[in-house]
Amino acid sequence: MRIGLFGFLFVMWALIIAGGGILVTVLGPFSISGYGDFDLLTSILKAIIAIILVIIWIWVLSKLKNWIFKKEIKS
């Protein structure tokens, strides 16, 4: 039980740190230029990408949690 819980917590924190790094380094300086001033469009695109990443992280953590519980129930 301890290893499964610690594994889940490790993956959770790894996703949080990796996600923060992705959002700051990749999405932060992202802008659309060459077509005028598209600040609203850039903000909407950044928000959509961030929401998609959060959904993916929640899905990964849910799959990991289910795997840990199934493993614990079998043992």
- Residue 25 pLDDT: 84
Give this prediction's pTM: 0.68
Taking the alpha carbons at both ends of the chain, their separation in whole angstroms is 10
- Describe the crossing of helices 39-74 and 2-22 by its angle, rounded to 10 degrees: 170
Query: What are 4-59's pLDDT values in tens digits?
Result: 777 778 888 888 888 888 778 887 787 777 666 667 788 888 889 888 988 988 89
Whether residue 16 contacts residue 56, with contact meaning beta carbons closer than 8 Å, is answered with: no
Residue 60 to residues 5, 34, 54, 67: CA-CA distances in angstroms? Answer: 15, 37, 10, 11
